[in-house]
Amino acid sequence: MRRRASDIICVFRIHLARLRREAGPFLLASVVFPLVMYMFATAIGTTGAGAPQDAAQRVRFLAGSIVFSLSLTAVSWLGYLLLENRFTGRLKLFATLPLAPSSYVLGVLVFALAQATIGTTVLVMIARAFGVRTALSLPVGAMLLGAVLVLTVLCVCGIGVIIAARARSFSEGSLLTDALGAGLVFLAPIYCAPEALPRPLQILSRVMPTTYAARGVQTTLLGGNGVGADLLTLAVMATVTLAVGFRVMRWRED
Amino acid sequence: MRGLVKEYKDGTRANRGIDLDVRSGEVVAVLGPNGAGKTTFLRQLTTELRPTGGTITVFGIDVIREPQRAKRLMGITPQEAGTFETLTVREHLQLFARLKGLSRRAADAATVEVIDTLGLTEHADRSVGSLSGGLRRRILIGLALLGRPPLLILDEPTTGLDPASRRVVWGVLRQIVQQGTTLVLSTHYMEEAERLSDRIAIIDSGRVIAFGTVRELLSRLRESYRLSYHDPATGNGDLRVQRYASFADVQAQIQELRLSEYSIARASLEDVYFEIAGQPFPDDEAVEVLQ
């Protein structure tokens, strides 16, 4: 058990070094772009008369931007790192070690959670400066928000791991992670009410983890605790994607 | 290894029944042209590739059934491995030493030892990404050396290195072997195989076509002298290489052809390969120097 924990921390530290070096692009993806999306959503969400939006709508936009940040960092950026590990031979280095593939995946997940923590915290702090007032209840609401974020990250990371393990080429994999990073956001009602989406997208959004993530984040930020159904759905989705992710991540080829 | 076979899904047979015994403390070079099946063979040995058939045992451990346990005894440098460029050399070695199961203190000691052994002291706190390809290759070898595993498996360890770096690596490997480490390396450099190894396995088309010491392999040649000359009979002076059983036969030929420029060499592993495989060894670094 201690050995496994040590392995996971080492894998985490190896990837953290990358984050240290590429802090600029990371902040761009995890904070700046989602912040720009928040401002964009606020602008187009303003009524013609220029009436100020209600607090709930602003919190919806903040929740959407938090999910957008998670999607960009946990699918697009992390997926890219994993693809790079595989196609530049770095994964081979791990494969030479007496390291369980699951420890590698867990190290990557811890790294993704660290990214999510940084991105979400900075976004919430900046949103406060923009005048967004949340009503997160302590400690229950905060714990529920944490659970929603963790399950969302695990779910989308699982998708990233599957793509990175199965892509036939680097370009195919990076195209998929980029498309999914954006697609998971725009195919789900994260900046708008579900009924505002066209009917086909409404149906599609039911299988998008971002739908439940955005609703869960929004509910908790507004002071509600009724996120049981969202947590359950995210937990099921995370279990499925991680189960597949752990299964496809193998050192030994047939 | 016994009866090692690897057949891919598309029907390609990369290894066709390899039998090989490596003694403890011995250096065995696996030699063969590109595409001969060397890397497939080593990937099976290092547990990266599941064999279609056959058995591999390392210090009594079944490599196919217990890959993780077997890897604890191995230091491996894959042919096309990449380094983590954002880490410093020291961090890279320390983290991988920990991943090999060394305690924090042992990992630090192993890191210092490898940095010193591979002449990386002045680069230890630089990021790996800022180093030359040769230095990165040394780091990859260093990762295999961490914790002094009893078996080192190096897939073309000096490919892409300049001659000076290659010699540094050879020196390090000799030093490691003197401490009792068993070394299996693949190479397509004849010189590397001759200089480093106790025994050489020549692989061609997925089979071991010869295995023995350099002396044993050379003794298989019927003609152990090689005469190279530009043929005066052809207008272009085409290069001819002929093999003879004795030095006297070579001299007789020189006199008969009235050659003024020629080179005489003792047979080499290249000739052994030619004799056994029936075709020249495709070594792009081979250089003929005529007297």
Spatial separation of the C-alpha atoms in residues B30 and B10, rounded to whole Å: 25
Distance from CA of A135 to the nearest CA of B (A): 40
Spatial separation of the C-alpha atoms in residues B45 and A205, rounded to whole Å: 48
Are the beta carbons of A53 and A46 closer than 8 angstroms? yes
Are the beta carbons of A14 and B93 closer than 8 angstroms? no
Say whether A10 and B80 touch across the interface (CB within 8 A): no
Compute the 3-state secondary structure of chain B and give helix, strand, coil in percent, each to the nearest 5: 35, 25, 40
Distance from CA of B21 to the nearest CA of A (A): 22
Encode pLDDT of B199-239 as tens digits.
Answer: 999 988 888 988 999 888 888 888 888 888 888 777 677 88
Spatial separation of the C-alpha atoms in residues B45 and B184, rounded to whole Å: 10
> What does pLDDT average to in each consecutive run of 10 residues of chain B (291 residues)?
89 88 94 83 92 94 93 92 93 96 96 93 94 90 94 90 86 90 90 90 89 88 84 77 86 88 85 75 45 32
pLDDT of residue B97: 97
Say whether B99 and A99 touch across the interface (CB within 8 A): yes
Mean pLDDT of A203-214: 94
Is residue B185 less than 8 Å (CB to CB) from chain A?
A: no
Spatial separation of the C-alpha atoms in residues A121 and A127, rounded to whole Å: 10
Encode pLDDT of B153-209 as tens digits.
Answer: 999 888 878 888 888 889 989 988 998 999 999 988 888 888 899 999 998 888 898
Say whether B86 and A21 touch across the interface (CB within 8 A): yes
Spatial separation of the C-alpha atoms in residues A38 and A31, rounded to whole Å: 10
Sort A20 into a burial class: Cβ within 10 Å, 0-12 / 13-18 / 19+: exposed
pLDDT of residue B282: 61
> Nearest 5°: CA angle at A151, between A146 and A154?
125
- The encoded tokens of residue B117 equal 């052994």
- The encoded tokens of residue B139 equal 């780091």
Query: Which sign does the torsion angle of CA B11, B13, B17, B19 carry?
Result: negative
* pLDDT exceeds 70 at position A49: no
Spatial separation of the C-alpha atoms in residues A199 and B178, rounded to whole Å: 73
What per-residue string of b and e applies to A30-62 under the rule 16 or more CB within 10 Å gives b?
bbeebbebbeebbeeeeeeeeeeeeeebbbbbb
- The encoded tokens of residue A97 equal 């070690």
Distance from CA of A215 to the nearest CA of B (A): 37
- The encoded tokens of residue A212 equal 């439940």
CB contacts under 8 A, B 50-79 vs A, are 50, 67-69, 71-72, 74, 76-78
The DSSP code for A54 is P
Mean pLDDT of A224-233: 95
Is residue B143 less than 8 Å (CB to CB) from chain A?
A: yes
- The pLDDT > 90 percentage for chain A reads 62
Angle at which helices B104-117 and B133-145 cross, to 10°: 140
Using DSSP, state whether A47 is helix, strand or coil: coil
Q: How confident is the model at residue A47 (pLDDT cuts 50, 70, 90)?
A: low
With beta carbons under 8 A apart, name residues in chain A contacting B76: 96
The full DSSP string for A85-137 is HHHTTHHHHHHTSS--HHHHHHHHHHHHHHHHHHHHHHHHHHHHHTT------
Phi-psi region of A89 (alpha: psi -120 to 50; beta: other; left: phi over 0): left
Amino acid at B57: T
Sort A217 into a burial class: Cβ within 10 Å, 0-12 / 13-18 / 19+: buried
Are the beta carbons of A69 and B42 closer than 8 angstroms? no
Spatial separation of the C-alpha atoms in residues B133 and A18, rounded to whole Å: 20
The full DSSP string for B144-171 is HHTT--SEEEEESTTTT--HHHHHHHHH
Spatial separation of the C-alpha atoms in residues A156 and A238, rounded to whole Å: 8
Using DSSP, state whether A58 is helix, strand or coil: helix
For residue B78, what is the nearest residue in chain A, using CA coordinates?
A92
Of B81, B21, B73, B15, nearest to B46 by C-alpha is B73
Q: How confident is the model at residue A46 (pLDDT cuts 50, 70, 90)?
A: low
Are the beta carbons of A31 and A127 closer than 8 angstroms? no
Spatial separation of the C-alpha atoms in residues A27 and A118, rounded to whole Å: 9
Torsion of CA B34, B39, B40, B45, to 10 degrees: 150
Spatial separation of the C-alpha atoms in residues A81 and B14, rounded to whole Å: 31
Encode pLDDT of A71-109 as tens digits.
Answer: 999 888 888 999 999 999 899 999 999 999 899 989 999
With beta carbons under 8 A apart, name residues in chain B contacting A97: 71, 96, 99-100
pLDDT of residue B290: 35
